[in-house]
Chains A and B, each alone.
Chain A
Amino acid sequence: MTDQLETEVRAALRERAAQVPTASIARLAHLDYHPRTRRLRPPLAIGALATAAGAGTVAVIVSLTAGASNAFAGWTPTPTTPSPGQLANAQASCEGGQSPIAGLPLKLADTRGPFTFSVYASDTSSATCISGPSFRSVSGSTASAPIDVAAGRILLSTHESSRGGSAYSFADGRTGDGVSAVTLVLDDGTKVQATVDNGWFVAWWPSAHAVTSAAITTPAGVTTQTVPAVTIPGGGPGAGGGSVSGFSSGSGEATGGGGTVGRESVQSFSSSQ
């Protein structure tokens, strides 16, 4: 019986394995799994990064995205009120599958039109998930120790990606005590108001434009921090003096074209009164 059973098992497994769509394999084979070029931030940013470096931060980005162009219709520069069921649907979409979100509590959800951008985090790990019509994208990062952010300051991480040829970017991070609002200014002048809650903020925009400054609201007023970019060649963890590294990839369940990720940057800065 055993030999016959083994033969039958082999045949059954071969049959099952043959069900994997070749398109699925092709898409996985054409994703970009490499670390990205990182753009680090100004002198104040280096101070903040040093905190992260001291904590042994290692970021790993896992993106699951695909779809068509014109994917971001309905986006707004200020957060919108979620439609009925929007948050629950986003949560179900984001928490499915194997992802960096597993086991992390939800910290905040930013809604802009039909899109929901959620941040899940513990003291040492965080993951973001953007979900919208026909796609979702998940990214995550981990640190070997909690990162402290001073009162009135923020720790910013920005990421640039694309979906179906359309670029989008997002910024997320920790807020120190007293920070009640964050508005990012992009290099084309666009102002994007972030959602702030539970010591975190997040904002995203449908372009590759970089953040040039941030207006941070605290009980003492509003301060503006410029954020000039400094390009540092990519490499493994620790390259360029920092210990932040990133990897990204794309895939998805929507239409073809593949969701390639353009580049990803890990940035940080702090703002003082």
Chain B
Amino acid sequence: MDHGRADFETFVAAGTDSLTRTAYLIVWDLQDAEDLVQETLLKVAGRWHRVRKMEHPLAYARRILVNLALDDAGRRTRRRRELTGEALPDRSQPADEQRAFDEQDELLRALAALPPRQRTAIVLRYFLDLPEAEAAAAMKCSLGTVKSTAARGLARLEQALRTTNETRSIST
């Protein structure tokens, strides 16, 4: 086995966990996440002679993953709605009074409903704990854009939780 191949396999062994969990949070679907990670690693493999010389190959792979995810986000969302018959989030349905409200569940639902770019910014900043500059590099946008995108995402999450709390107050 040549050194390049060995290096790549070491990289895959070390990086797949992070890439897969990140992909799962960004696309919110396991099958899509697996496909995304495979496509990412295929691209990295094809460029490994260059990537292996980089200081942070995982950051490069993450950038590919994020861009693939965002490039394909519209199609993926449409497909999921076609498959599940899912409509836009509808909060007008009456709450099941027997159901216990779980704020974290509500937060996860709100995260799932975020626009892809906002969720991606949130994942990069609050799951991977990337500095804003690295998150901006991963999303191929400016520092200001990633800050405002994450801020808008947080605002939506906050609004969703507030709505939940108000609903809970009304129903109790």
- Interface set of A (CB-CB < 8 Å, partner B): 1-2, 5-6, 8-17, 19-21, 24-25, 28-29, 31, 33-35, 60, 62, 64, 96-99, 102, 236, 245, 247, 249, 251, 253
Contacts and interface: CB of A to CB of B under 8 A. Distances in A.
Nearest to A102: B75
B86 interface: no
Contacts of A99: 35
Nearest to A8: B107
Interface stretch (B14-22, B52-60, B92-100, B136-144): B14-22
Contacts of A62: 35, 38-39, 42
Contacts of A34: 5, 8, 45
A247 B45 contact: yes
A98 B39 CA distance: 9
B79 to A, nearest CB: 7
A28 B158 contact: no
A146 to B, nearest CB: 23
A20 B22 CA distance: 10
A29 B13 contact: yes
A31 B41 contact: yes
B42 A249 contact: yes
Interface string B150-172: 00001001100100000000000
Interface residues of B, number: 46
A11 B20 contact: no
Contacts of B21: 17, 20, 25
28 contacts: A5-B161, A6-B154, A8-B104, A9-B107, A9-B126, A10-B126, A12-B104, A12-B111, A13-B127, A16-B108, A17-B22, A17-B25, A20-B20, A20-B24, A24-B34, A28-B41, A29-B12, A33-B38, A34-B5, A35-B46, A60-B42, A97-B31, A98-B32, A98-B72, A99-B35, A236-B46, A245-B46, A247-B46
Contact of B16 (A8, A28, A60, A96): A28
Contacts of A96: 31, 79, 83
A247 B127 contact: no
Given A9-B154, A99-B35, A33 B126 contact: no
Nearest to B129: A10
Contacts of A1: 158
B161 A15 contact: no
A13 B104 contact: no
Contact of A17 (B16, B36, B107, B127): B127
Contact of A12 (B45, B49, B108): B108
A97 B103 CA distance: 30
A10 B44 CA distance: 29
Contacts of A14: 127
B104 A249 contact: no
Nearest to A96: B79
Interface in B123-150: 123, 126-127
A6, A15, A24, A251 — most chain B CB neighbours (10 Å): A24
Interface in B54-92: 68, 72, 75-76, 79, 83
Given A5-B154, A28-B20, A13 B111 contact: yes
Contacts of B16: 25, 28-29
Given A24-B30, A28-B20, A102-B72, 15 more contacts: A9-B126, A16-B24, A16-B108, A16-B111, A21-B30, A24-B34, A25-B16, A31-B38, A34-B5, A96-B79, A97-B35, A98-B36, A98-B39, A99-B35, A102-B75
B76 A98 contact: yes
